[in-house]
Amino acid sequence: MTAPTTVAAPAQTDAEPELLLEAQAIGVSFDGVHALDDVSIGIRSHEVFGLIGPNGAGKTTLMNVLSGFQRPTRGRTLVNGADATRWGPEKTVRHGVSRTFQAVRPFPALTVAQNVELGALGVGTRRRVAAERVDYILEALHLSHRRDDFAGKLPHGEERRLGIARALASEPQVLLLDEPAAGANEAESDELVASLRAIKAEFSCSLVVIEHDMRLIMSICERIHVLDYGRSIAEGTPAEIQANPAVREAYLGQVAEAGAGES
Amino acid sequence: MRVLGFVRRSASTPIILALLVALVTIVANSAGDASLRRIVVGAVVNMIAVIGIYLFIGLTGVFSFGQLAFMAIGAYATAIFTVPVATKRALFSAMPEWLADINLPFIPGILAGALVAAVVAFLLSFPMARMQPLSAGLATLAILVAVYTVAGNWTAVTNGSKGMSAIPTNTTMPVALIAVILVIIAVWIFQQSGLGLRIRATREDAVAARAIGIKVGRERGIAFVASAFVMGLAGGLYAQLQGTLSPDAFFLNQTFLLIAMLVVGGLNSLTGAVIGTILITAFRRVLQVIEAGVDIGPLEIPGRPGLTEVGIGIALLVVLALRSSGLTRGTEVSWDSLVRFGKRLTRRGTPSAAPTAAADPESVAGLAAAERTTPETATAEAVIEPERTPGA
Amino acid sequence: MNGFLQGVVDALALGSLYAIFALGIALIFSVLKMINFAHSELVTIGAFVLILLADVPLIIRILILVVVVVGAAVLMERVAFRPVRGAGQTTMLITSFAVSYLLQNAAILIFGPDLRSGSVWSVLNESFMLGPVRILNLNALTIVLTLVLLVALTLFLRKTSIGLQMRAAAEDFTTARLVGVKANRIIAVAFGISGLLAAIASFLLTAQTGVVTNTIGVQVVLMAFVATILGGMGSLSGAVIGAFVLGAVSVILQQLLPLELRPFRDAFLFAAVFVVLVVRPGGLIVTRASRARV
Ligand SMILES: Nc1ncnc2c1ncn2[C@@H]1O[C@H](COP(=O)(O)OP(=O)(O)OP(=O)(O)O)[C@@H](O)[C@H]1O
Ligand SMILES: [Mg+2]
């Protein structure tokens, strides 16, 4: 039953061929409240794509849509040009779109190695192949020393890295990361930037990163998309985004506020 | 040397458990009289059933009250397959010809009985997979009641409330012991396999499991069928131990007893299933002796029916309140863990195991802990079925 | 036609009885996310009170009944359920199963295994004619009581402060706590109300059977579980609707099934529930609280 992880041949239709993952005019509403309204993004191969916006802007909801967890009320999603709107997460990840969670959601009573192995087993990878992948990925995310520990016992930073490792084990083309640096201090966040760059190079996949940590976003993203109240307000290079007055007004101001409140 | 390393790392658990079971069984068996010996064999059969329950509840985290329905199916099927044709004709005159004509030897009969249970579970697993875990758990209660009702009334096949009799009795101590050891080994291999890991992942976090491609409903279904097969096996052995069957043997009281064994040992480990069965069986034996009435010197305690059950109920409540994840706390015994335990004992520390936050019910954190486990078991499915999310 | 009307009355009466049971279970579920198996033992306790005190004047007996059963419900929560409140849904479910089993057998330990009989209120076993339909007083009382209870419970949940807090808690306990809802109080009150419902249920049940055994509550509570699943876990109105659907289906099956299949009625009933759950996995009414987010 477990389908091989072949990737659907790109259907050369109206879609732009080089886009691995697309959201087209997505709308999502919960009990009449619009969490997303007419949002479109396209992920190119080998790029790091940032998704930012204030709390409640709809970033996670968009990620849920892209990963098949949330069926949009309007619009459609494409994976390699194929319509993926009705796929569900199980099929989406088999077609090369993998994700992490804002709350990490590890398998606490399983070991770190088992967690990562499951990332491969889940999409139907053979046991032997999966086991080899585990060593490699644990190494890449500096988790080798934790191999046989229960995932539920990891400190916060390592837990987040485990989330990334598990998502990476399916060898995705696009890796969706929901706030990978949440709770990290400056040094950890720098380390994460290095890891993400290494992942992008070694696993040759695209990254979609949701983050509130602007330093991280600005330093690794090639393009950034900004959401506010469920709507797209800007998209561009880090420099363009930083210079964009609408973004400054809607977003950066609020971050400053929130930052002031926290400290 | 490499073989030894493998055994130590990967295979020590089933070996230790098998040795433990064999030891306890043989000691109890040689210490007691004929009646105790019978109890011991019965306990071994119970252990297989507890392991069967563990296979579903323990691996998937979905609770079920209904697994004994499959034990009943296995028991009745085995009985029907193995009672000699002539006896069936004489005793169960209402039985249809084709059924009465079936006659299988002991082991094929038991395997066929278990297979029948597994097939029924397979058919039920499709609707079950669609339900939210909590509803599914209660739906299993519906299965239990339905099977109980059918067993008690379908005179043509089960002989109704009169029950079956004249079943050949081949479940001896060695047979039961070999069976339980085989089951322990098989279940261990199953839970360490890729499939077993995937099933356990659905227990840990169904949402995260879906995100990495695991088909949660399907994996739960497989565990359900595997569990039903083992339950059916236990049922067949039970039929061949007792020689008679009645529907009451597979209803709520027995369900409670077996679940108590599993919970006391620890729901989430095979070791828990084995140890829980041993402990509760021993405790129950003691209570039964007291219930029958004892004289301790001048103190004379008269027999009180109900005492055994009350005692087990209290024991379970105490374990739930003080150590809700059971004695093993979801960890498996292994060579390494025994060594560690030994070292600790010599250093006089309290042994502690897997990660469980003892939650103070009054603190907000305690409630948050409850919240954290609650939505993902009861409701995670709903989230994700997006059709239902907008405007239900 | 008369047969049909008679059937409707029977179905209403049975559905009402199930509803009183199901409400008690759904109420606890809504605040605690726990299925209270031991609800049946609250009913059993009530039944013992009624039968053992058969000589005491009715009013006093009812007073004692309410005090004892409500007390037992609150005590049960305090002693058995509070210690496991943080330990997860499965643990709470097993705990309630254990409490149920314990009390069932404690009844044997205390009162012995024999069945006891006694009359609750003989008037209830008489009947009157409403047009062409003969109605048992007990059935009339059951239906009326259920209606009264539904209205009272609705008013309580909508109009009183504690009722509103209870609804907030049912939606989202964590948030409710943040705005000052006191968990212990809410849960204790919920148990108290479920005790009251159990007391009423035991009165109606015992009036019907005239006997008490240690498992008198179990059969009906099994049905009530099914009703709550059918209605959608955690929804009070769902539980009531589920109960009436179940009552109706039982009566229909009882009338339509050929004689030789009647003993299998419960099996058919549970099979039907299964089918409903396949078509609507969340039950008939899906509450907001039963949905969650990624
Ligand atoms: N399942 C749901 N049901 C109802 N409302 C929801 C659901 N999921 C999200 N929302 C709402 O949709 C909006 C967007 O939420 P989302 O989680 O996508 O925000 P976000 O940008 O990820 O915020 P944060 O930075 O805080 O993670 C919020 O107002 C949220 O309350
Ligand atoms: Mg978010």
What is the reported pLDDT for B232? Answer: 95
Per-residue pLDDT, averaged over A11-40, amounts to 77
Residue C135: strand, helix, or coil: strand
Average pLDDT in the C27-42 region? Answer: 86
Distance in Å, alpha carbon of A165 to nearest chain C alpha carbon? 19
Q: Name which of B145, B377, B381 to mutate to probe chain C: the one with the most chain C Cβ atoms within 10 A of its Cβ.
A: B145
Q: How confident is the model at residue A177 (pLDDT cuts 50, 70, 90)?
A: very high
- A105 and B205: CB-CB below 8 Å? yes
- pLDDT for residue B80: 87
Give B71's pLDDT tier (boundaries 50, 70, 90). very high
Contacts of B201 in chain A (CB under 8 A): 107, 110, 118, 122
Calculated CA dihedral for residues B253, C27, C181, C80, nearest 10 degrees: -20
C95 in Cβ contact with C38 (< 8 Å): no
At residue C283, φ and ψ (nearest 5 deg) are 90, 180
- Say yes or no to pLDDT of A184 above 90: no
Q: Do B379 and C184 touch (CB under 8 A)?
A: no
DSSP H or E segment with residue B195: helix B194-204
In a domain, residue B314? The reply is no
- pLDDT, one tens digit per residue, over C192-238 is 999 999 999 888 888 887 778 888 878 788 888 888 877 777 678 88
Helix (H, G, I), strand (E, B) or coil at B150: helix
Nearest-CA distance A69 → chain B (Å) = 6
Q: Which of C5, C7, C10, C243 is nearest to C136 (CA)?
A: C10
CB contacts of B208 in chain A (<8 Å) are: 101, 105-107, 166
Q: For residue A139, report the distance from its CA to the centre of ligand 2, in Å.
A: 28
- With a cut of 60, say whether residue B277 has pLDDT above it: yes
What tens digit of pLDDT does each residue of C97-106 get?
899 989 888 8
How much is the ipTM here? Answer: 0.83
- Across residues B212-228, what is the average pLDDT? 93
Q: Which of B212, B222, B337, B387 to mutate to test the interface with A (most CBs of A within 10 A)?
A: B212
pLDDT of B364 reads 32
**A26/C112: higher pLDDT:** A26
pLDDT in tens, B381-391: 333 233 333 33
DSSP output for chain A: -----PPPPPP-SSS-TTEEEEEEEEEEEETTEEEEEEEEEEEETT-EEEEE-STTSSHHHHHHHHTTSS--SEEEEEETTEE-TT--HHHHHHTTEEE--TT----TTSBHHHHHHHHHHTTT--HHHHHHHHHHHHHHTT-GGGTTSBGGGS-HHHHHHHHHHHHHTT--SEEEEESTTTT--HHHHHHHHHHHHHHHHHTT-EEEEE-S-HHHHHHH-SEEEEEETTEEEEEE-HHHHHH-HHHIIIIIHHHHHHHHHH-
Does residue B105 lie in a domain region?
yes
Residue with CA at minimum distance from ligand 1 atom 24? A55
Cβ of B313 within 8 Å of Cβ of C101? The answer is yes
Mutate to test the interface with B, among A67, A74, A107, A125 (most CBs of B within 10 A): A107
Q: How far is CA B144 from CA A120, B73, B119, B344, in A?
A: 37, 10, 16, 44
Residue A176: pLDDT band by 50, 70, 90 thresholds? very high
pLDDT of residue B224: 94
Query: Residue B373 sits in which domain range?
Result: 339-384
What are the E-state strand segments in B152-292?
none
- Using a pLDDT cut of 90, give the percent of chain B over it: 28
d(CA A128, CA B191): 17
Give pLDDT, residue B381: 32
- A53 alpha carbon, closest ligand: 1
Beta carbons of C236 and C129 less than 8 angstroms apart: no
Q: Which of B197, B212, B384 sits opposite A170 (nearest CB)?
A: B212
Q: Has residue B362 got a pLDDT over 50?
A: no
Residue of chain B nearest A64, judged by CA positions: B384
Whether the per-residue pLDDT at B355 is higher than 50: the answer is no
Tell me the β-bridge partners of A82.
Answer: A79
How many domains does chain B fold into?
Answer: 2
More confident position, B28 or C79: C79
pLDDT score, position C211 = 79
Q: Is residue B391 part of a domain?
A: no
The pLDDT of residue C9 is 81
The verdict on residue B141 lying in a domain is yes
In this structure, the dihedral spanned by the alpha carbons of residues B298, B303, B304 and B305, taken in order and rounded to 10 degrees, is 160
CA quadruple C106, C112, C114, C117: dihedral sign: negative
β-strand pairing of A206-210 with A48-52 = parallel
Is the pLDDT at B75 greater than 80? The verdict is yes
Ligand 1 geometric centre to CA of A224 (Å)? 20
Report residue B367's pLDDT band, with 50, 70 and 90 as the boundaries: very low
Q: How confident is the model at residue B184 (pLDDT cuts 50, 70, 90)?
A: very high
Give a yes or no: residue B194 inside a domain. yes
Cα-based angle B223, B229, B234 (whole degrees, multiple of 5): 125
Interchain contact B379–A (C-beta under 8 A): no
Q: Domain-by-domain residue ranges, chain A?
A: 19-105+174-259
| DSSP β-ladder status, A206-210 and A223-228 | unpaired
Binned at pLDDT 50, 70 and 90, residue C239 comes out as: confident
CB neighbour class for A88 (10 Å; exposed up to 12, middle 13-18, buried from 19): middle
Q: What are phi and psi of A176, to 5 degrees?
A: -100, 125
Q: Are B382 and C290 in contact (CB under 8 A)?
A: yes
| For residues A17-27, average pLDDT | 83
Q: Which of C81, C47, C48 is nearest to C187 (CA)?
A: C81
Average pLDDT over residues C248-266: 79
Residues of C in contact with A70 (CB under 8 A): 294
Parallel, antiparallel or unpaired: strands A33-44 and C127-130: unpaired
Would you say the pTM of this structure is higher than 0.95?
A: no
In contact, C165 and C186? CB cutoff 8 Å? yes
Question: Tell me, what DSSP letter sits at residue B164?
Answer: B
Domain annotation covers residue B258: no
Return the partners of chain C (3 or more C-beta pairs < 8 Å).
A, B
* pLDDT category of residue B303 using cuts at 50, 70 and 90: low
Q: Which residues 255-294 on chain C approach chain A with CB closer than 8 angstroms?
A: 294
Confidence of residue B186 (pLDDT cuts 50, 70, 90): very high
- Supply the residue whose CA is at minimum distance from atom 11 of ligand 1: A35
Looking at residue B299, its pLDDT comes to 65
Residue of A nearest to B201 (CA): A107
pLDDT value at A191 more than 80:
yes
State in Å: Cα A61 to ligand 1 middle.
Answer: 6
The Cα B225–Cα B55 span in angstroms is: 9
Mean pLDDT of A50-60: 88
Average pLDDT over every residue of B4-11: 66
Statement: residue C264 has pLDDT above 60 = yes
Of residues B304, B249, B278, B317, the one with CA closest to residue B50 = B278
- Residues B60, B207 within the same domain: yes
Cα–Cα distance, B155 to B149 (Å, whole number): 11
Domain end, chosen from B228, B248, B268, is at B248
C-alpha A36 to ligand 2 mean position (Å): 13
Query: Same domain, yes or no, for B357 and B244?
Result: no
pLDDT score of B121: 92
Considering only CB atoms, which residues of chain A are within 8 Å of chain C? 60, 64, 69-70, 101
pLDDT of residue A245: 82
A107 touching chain B per CB within 8 A: yes
In chain A, which residues have their Cβ closer than 8 Å to the Cβ of B198?
118, 121-122
| HSE of B322, CA atoms in CB hemisphere, 13 A | 9
Residues of A in contact with B129 (CB under 8 A): none
- CA-wise closest residue to B58 among B210, B183, B204, B186: B204
Question: B109-112: which pairs have CB atoms within 8 A and are 24 or more residues apart?
Answer: B109/B78, B109/B81, B109/B82, B109/B236, B109/B240, B110/B74, B110/B78, B110/B82, B110/B233, B110/B236, B110/B237, B110/B240, B111/B233, B111/B236, B112/B77, B112/B78, B112/B81
Length of chain B: 392
In this predicted structure, the answer to whether residue C159 has a pLDDT above a threshold of 50 is: yes
Q: What is the mean pLDDT of chain A?
A: 83
Among B203, B222, B248, the domain-final residue is B248
As a whole number, mean pLDDT of residues C91-119 equals: 83
- Give the pair of three-digit tokens for residue A130: 């999966």
Chains that contact B by 3+ CB pairs under 8 Å?
A, C
Mean pLDDT of chain C: 80
Which ligand ends up closest to the CA of B386?
1
Inter-axis angle of helices B173-192 and B270-291, to 10 degrees? 150
Report the share of chain C in percent with pLDDT over 70: 91
Instruction: Output the residue whose Cα is nearest ligand 1's atom 16.
Output: A58
Inter-chain contact C86–B378, Cβ cutoff 8 Å?
Answer: no
Question: What are the CA-CA distances from residue C189 to residues C78, C157, C165, C287 (Å)?
Answer: 12, 12, 11, 22
Residue C273 φ then ψ, to 5°: -60, -40
Ligand 1 cavity residues, CB under 6 Å? A 30, 35, 53, 55-61, 102; C 293
pLDDT value at C73 more than 90: yes
Selecting from C99, C266, C281 the residue whose C-beta is nearest the C-beta of B130 gives C281
Q: Where is average pLDDT lowest: A153-167, B371-385, C179-193?
A: B371-385
**Cα–Cα distance measured from residue C23 to residue C152, given in angstroms and rounded to the nearest whole number:** 12
Encode A120-185 in three state secondary structure. HHCCCCCHHHHHHHHHHHHHHCCCHHHCCCEHHHCCHHHHHHHHHHHHHCCCCCEEEEECCCCCCC
A19-105+174-259: which CATH topology?
Rossmann fold (3.40.50)
Q: What is the DSSP letter of B245?
A: B
By alpha-carbon position, which residue is closest to atom 7 of ligand 1? C293
- Token pair 């047009």 in the structure block, residue: C131
SS3 C271: helix
| Residue of chain C minimizing CA distance to B131 | C281
Q: Who has greater pLDDT, C54 or C143?
A: C143
Residues on chain B touching C102 (C-beta within 8 angstroms): 309-310, 313-314, 317
Quote the minimal CA–CA distance from C107 to chain B in Å.
Answer: 8
For residue B273, being part of any structural domain is answered with no
The DSSP code sequence of C178-203 is HTT--HHHHHHHHHHHHHHHHHHHHH
Give the residue with greater pLDDT, B352 vs B308: B308
Beta-strand runs (E) in chain B:
294-296, 299-301
Contact C263 B153 (CB under 8 A): yes
Residues with CB under 5 A from ligand 2 (ion): A 60, 102
State the average pLDDT over residues B111-128: 90
For A60, other C-beta atoms within 10 Å of its C-beta total 21
Q: Which of B184, B218, B248 is the last residue of a domain?
A: B248
Determine the average pLDDT of the residues in A80-106: 90
Alpha-helix runs per DSSP H in B243-334: 252-265, 270-291, 307-322
C95, C218, C281: residue with CB nearest B131: C281
C120: which 2 tokens?
Answer: 């609750």
Nearest residue of chain A to residue C288 (CA atoms)? A31
Lowest mean pLDDT among A46-50, A204-208, B355-359: B355-359
Q: B310-323, pLDDT tens digit by residue?
A: 888 898 889 888 88
Q: Tell if the CB–CB gap between A90 and B210 is shorter than 8 Å.
A: yes
- Which chains share 3+ C-beta pairs under 8 angstroms with A? B, C
**How does the average pLDDT of chain B come out, rounded?**
79
Percent of chain A with pLDDT over 70: 89
Asked whether the predicted pLDDT for residue A27 surpasses 80, the reply is yes
Range B358-362 average pLDDT = 35
CB contact under 8 A, B305 and C93: no
